[in-house]
Amino acid sequence: MIDKYTSLYNRLENTPLGNWLVRLPEQVKEALSDEKHGDLEKWKSLLEELPCAKPTSTDFNAGTVRIGDPDDTPPVKVQKIKEQLFKFHPWRKGPYSVFGIHINTEWRSDWKWDRLKDFITPLDNRLVLDVGCGNGYHCWRMLGAGARLVVGIDPYLLSVVQFHALKHYTGDEPVYVLPLGIEDMPDNLNGFDTVFSMGVFYHRRSPFDHLYELKSFLRGGGELVLETLLIDGGKNEVLVPEGRYANMRNVWFIPSCLTLESWLVRAGFKNVRMVNVCRTTAEEQRPTEWMTWESLPDFLDPDNPDLTIEGHPAPKRTIFVADK
């Protein structure tokens, strides 16, 4: 897997992100050493066992990211590809279509993209970072929207492996998912045109540290797209769950929209605007044949779906866009 990043390093050389190359190759090598995760060696073997097939076309600008068509390869091989891809369960972000194989993921991530795509600066020829990108579904959509280069980061190695399983069939497109967390990123990169943080904010212990980190990745005038949980309420109102929230352990805080707006301003962002608020439904996040574990329907109060099983307000999400 390490060699899959050589083209990324080449592409970074002549960009404002070139200084990242001082440490990035060694970080990737360390993160993908077999000692880092007990299943990594098995996942690497599964990647090597993926059948070869070449798509006649791809579509990264559709709700279902499409790689190839059913007629591109014999049905027997399509079935083998499906069996191999399923071994990377659970698939959380998507959906995808691979040679006609519908990967029906836990999240309808296309719905989130539809909520924000008309409110952001067009991505044409931009350098884009997606923090906490999972298996890279939104990275493909960013590429489809015209980005020059898309870099996703996620420390969860199964998600990184899923991305590589998909890229096995796409060729050397300028989109990458790195096995890194935000704490592994260098300070003051100051090089990305657009930075996305979606579904990450409430998992960070310090909201201001996260906002300052995101700002440090952006060039002057660059754009932040921040998607996160929220609560109803006024300025300075924040929910701090004492235990879990919707069965998630590491939710540290959930602000109101007015609170989040004030935090973004306090962190030095300009032109701060809220572009969407919506409730998360069991149609958007649910178990499927590609993610058979518990999901949102299991984490809501069965007698009152307006509450989580812990008694907190049920999940609502917001999207903010702001400039550095």
3-class DSSP state of 176: strand
Instruction: Output the six-digit token pair for 6.
Output: 């050589």
Say if residues 136 and 163 touch (Cβ distance below 8 Å). yes
- Angle at the Cα of 59 from the Cα atoms of 121 and 72, rounded to 5 degrees: 170
Strands 101-103 and 96-98: antiparallel
Residue in the block written with tokens 């973004």: 264
116: how many CB neighbours lie within 10 A of its CB? 18
Phi, psi of 208 (to 5 degrees): -75, -35
Instruction: Output the six-digit token pair for 81.
Output: 């590809």
Q: Which helix (H) or strand (E) holds 228?
A: strand 218-230
Superfamily of domain 2-323 in CATH is Vaccinia Virus protein VP39 (3.40.50.150)
Nearest to 264 by CA among 312, 181, 324: 324
268: how many CB neighbours lie within 10 A of its CB? 11
Tens of each residue's pLDDT in the chain, 324 residues: 889 999 999 999 999 999 999 999 999 999 999 777 889 999 999 999 999 999 999 999 999 999 999 999 999 999 999 999 999 999 999 999 999 999 999 999 999 999 999 999 999 999 999 999 999 999 999 999 999 999 999 999 999 999 999 999 998 999 999 999 999 999 899 999 999 999 999 999 999 999 999 999 999 999 999 999 999 999 999 999 999 999 999 999 999 999 999 999 999 999 999 999 999 999 999 999 999 999 999 999 999 999 999 999 999 999 999 999
52: how many CB neighbours lie within 10 A of its CB? 9
Residues 121 and 126: their CA atoms lie apart, in Å, by 10
- Which residue ranges make up each domain of the chain? 2-323
Residues 232 and 208: their CA atoms lie apart, in Å, by 21
